Structure 1
């Protein structure tokens, strides 16, 4: 039984950067043998997977499943970027209309585990210092507060005419919230002023706005994506016109800025796979693309795990796929495939070749690359229709700009 994988998130806290979660869901249909009047409406169930990552060379898989939790269908996952009561906290949005929180508990027998903390349905209550913002299919946004033993919605308002696909805080001012909806509108909100009117409304996207990410390194810089297949970069001080517009060839469901490289942006482009974008000033170029077949690219995230330089694999260790990318694309290779029975792990094309045996290659960029030193990092992606999660390793060095890259052995 393969379930649909739609969200993947690395823990952003340094002491737990080896922890990865993946959320999936499945539509359960009613009994088709029953008369129509007796059939119940389809329900959506989900499952949360917890993984421990060890990317260093060894005889063991670099990713190990340590826990799975059955839930309602998981629509989104987010880690809190600061510890709560000295513990990492994971937030989950479910199809049943709940926001659930899980805390990461101390290692037991060498592995960490998630423990259910609390949940709430959207309502109203009192405010506190730690807040969560959520969007829903009615077009509403909800501000929630986290107390010692409660998660309470303190403010809820109608923000969009149709589904509100995304809401996000500014990393630089958590009183500022951005939202995007199926009404093709991007809006800004100041929680200090209340939800009576947005601080701005942009109609620059021509289809539903479904991804927003504030740049944690560059104040005022915001990236947005839409079903119109474009990534827009904005300066929050002037939302009348975007700084740039880049066509990526697929609806942009997820955007993630790199945790240390301020100009690198990872995009999950639904019908056109995953892309790394190089964003500098008002110019954006595609650095490389992650091509897989039979998928809907939904979840994507950068890892904060430090990586050592590449070393040849042990003779007893099977080689992993490596792809040489010309110019500034670097080397991209599969580090790991989802290991559970709930995921389809086939990566062969009709000719029996292991994929990806090639990637979509960007045109040579005339923009100077902001990464002056060699860069090695991990990414996690998940795709919907083929029920797959992957961990990728991307190696880039300044020399890659001078000559075409040759495949290198995986670590």
Structure 2
């Protein structure tokens, strides 16, 4: 029986500053809590970008409560705080001292931790908990927790920075301290991550196009492997919490690679997605589902079962969310269960005509990261954003999910940069009696 896949927008929120990180809380009973981070580069009012030697980078952290009741918008802002520019957000996968902790990598070179607590009005609020500075003259670019499989032993954070260093931080009773720091990459170290199955193993990726592995027991003098399989900067790494040794990596080269951590000479599969892969997220429950934020080519959900089982070829795209009009950066799955039927889709504004226009006469958008100076021309004369042209999906025919449940309904959040938008949306995957009907609705977004 064929399956039908559909994404539907539930709510859109203007973050005012450029949005680049969205993270649902994985700790019960706070699954309804969503955090969003922003990054804004500020130049002087009379200063051209190329003349600025010390641009300021500001940010804002938003906290939202999601509740789908009646006709009210499901997302409610409960807190906002001004911060240094935010490059990455990650929740600890388990409570610390009874509270969820949110980690934040900032443009001030700090990793900051916030504790989520219940507020007097029945809601929740984030309070500063601890933090540490990685070093002078650097930006903290990413972070990951060692708790991806709910392991409470020796909770640690790993963070990468713009000086090319990887930093392993230890979590004390109420403090965050640096355990080790080493030069891992020649240029910016865009990403670092733990192996959730052996948290003595750390992975890193940098603008030198290298993917590296490190064993903390051996010290950081030499990596356990160095891969040059990606042809451009490596900016996303996520260890599977469901299957040992499985690792997903993404790069500015527009490829998602799946790896067996025991055999790093070559990937299990390679999937072209038509946009630089800024973030990858494995589904919290379904081991074969992988969410990709593809910068210039929207957000996609991949089905990775066949690749994990040794089949050659790219992973099928089984759903796409295409309603953002700017760089696709932050994305995450919610742990909430969606048992109710999907609501009618809200009216979505049509994509600007510039989306179909050829970019003749305009500069091509480069694959800059949030740390770039943003001096590339991104708008036409009418002030409309000029995205890259749409590229075909990696495969023409989605694979059957092979999941035990007859249908899947997931809640997700995604955010885009220059249009400073946060979207909350749901993805429904259900059986259809007609294969032809399923074929017509495989990858629809709720602009209907």
For the pair 1:395 / 2:428, whether they are aligned, the reply is yes
Highest RCO, 1 vs 2 (Cα 8 Å, sep ≥ 6): 2
Mapped pair 1:300 → 2:323: no
CA distance in 2, matches of 1:368, 1:51: 34
Structure 1 residue 348, shift from structure 2 partner: 3.6
* Distance apart, 1:225 and its partner CA: 0.3
Structure 1: how far apart are the matches of 2:288 and 2:324?
28
- Post-superposition Cα deviations, 1:5-47, rounded to whole Å, max 9, x if no partner, equal 000000111211100000002112124179x99x772200100
Residue 371 of structure 1 aligns with which residue?
Answer: 403
CA RMSD of aligned residues (A): 2.8
Which residue of the partner structure matches residue 75 of structure 1? Answer: 87
Q: CA deviation at 1:293?
A: 5.1
Matches within 5 A, 1:25-36: 25-32=39-46
Aligned to 1:266: 291
Match of 2:106 in 1: 94
Distance 1:274 1:76 in 2: 18
Q: Deviating runs (4+, > 6 A) in structure 1?
A: 358-362, 406-410
Aligned residues: 370
Q: Which has the higher strand share?
A: 1
- Once the two structures are superposed, residues 104-154 of structure 1 have per-residue CA deviations (whole angstroms, 9 ceiling, x without a partner) of 01243121100011211126xxxx922111100111001111112321112
Q: Work out which of the residue numbers 123, 126, 146 in structure 2 matches 1:111.
A: 123
Match for 1:49 among 62, 69, 73?
Answer: 62
Question: How far did residue 361 of structure 1 move?
Answer: 7.1
Report if the CA contact (8 A) 1:167-1:179 is conserved: yes
1:347 deviates by: 3.9
Matched residue SS, 1:271: coil
Secondary structure of the residue aligned to 1:391 is: strand
2:304 match: secondary structure: strand
- Gapped runs of 5+ residues in structure 1? 314-318, 323-345, 352-357
Superposed displacement of residue 192, structure 1: 1.1
Aligned mates of 1:293, 1:376 — CA distance in 2:
21
Cross-structure match for 1:11: 25
- Aligned partner of 1:310 among 337, 341, 347: 341
Secondary structure of 1:404 counterpart:
helix
CA separation in 2, counterparts of 1:18 and 1:136?
A: 31
State the alpha-carbon separation in 1 of the partners of residues 433 and 116 from structure 2. Answer: 39
TM-score normalised by length of structure 2: 0.77
The answer as to whether partners of 2:87 and 2:106 remain within 8 angstroms in 1 is: yes
Deviations 1:153-176 (A, max 9, x none): 121100011110000011111111
Q: Tell me if structure 2 keeps the 8 A contact 1:213–1:256.
A: yes
Matches within 5 A, 1:10-409: 10-32=24-46, 41-55=54-68, 57-122=69-134, 129-282=154-307, 283=313, 284-292=315-323, 294-310=325-341, 319-321=344-346, 347-350=349-352, 363-365=395-397, 367-373=399-405, 374-399=407-432, 402-405=435-438
List alignment gaps of at least 5 residues for structure 2.
Answer: 1-14, 136-152, 308-312, 354-389
- Match of 1:250, SS state, is coil
